[in-house]
Amino acid sequence: MNLERAKVQENLPRKGFLETDDRKHIFYHLHHEGKKTHIRTQVSHGSKYKVLGDDLVSKMARQCKLTTKNFIGLAECNVSQADYIRLLKEAGEI
């Protein structure tokens, strides 16, 4: 399933990801309980990435330690921040 880049960029900060920017990419690092975690993902600035295809969505899901289905839910705000943290704790990621 494809995702709009703008939607991902809008919703990741709502889930605890803080954004840093460089010339080519926007990086998102998950912060939990005031601390930066090892969980991160990135989005390209390039205009060809206005819609994130299946391959990029799958890669971002792996980076965020989620299944593709759960990452799509996270990006579309169907998975809450609390649910995301619970999934990460259950997986032993945090």
- Three-class secondary structure of residue 49 per DSSP: helix
Q: Domains of the chain, with CATH numbers? A: 3-90 (3.30.920.30)
Average pLDDT of the chain to the nearest whole number: 90
In whole angstroms, give the CA distance from residue 52 to residue 2: 5
User: Region 52-81: what's the mean pLDDT?
Assistant: 93
Could you give phi then psi for residue 28, rounded to 5 degrees?
-125, 125
What lies within 8 Å, CB to CB, of 60 at 6+ separation is 8, 41, 43, 52, 71
pLDDT confidence of residue 16: 95
Question: Residue 76 and residue 10: Cα distance in Å, rounded?
Answer: 9
Residue 2's pLDDT is 82
pLDDT in tens, 9-42: 999 999 999 988 777 788 999 999 999 999 999 9
pTM of the model as a whole: 0.87
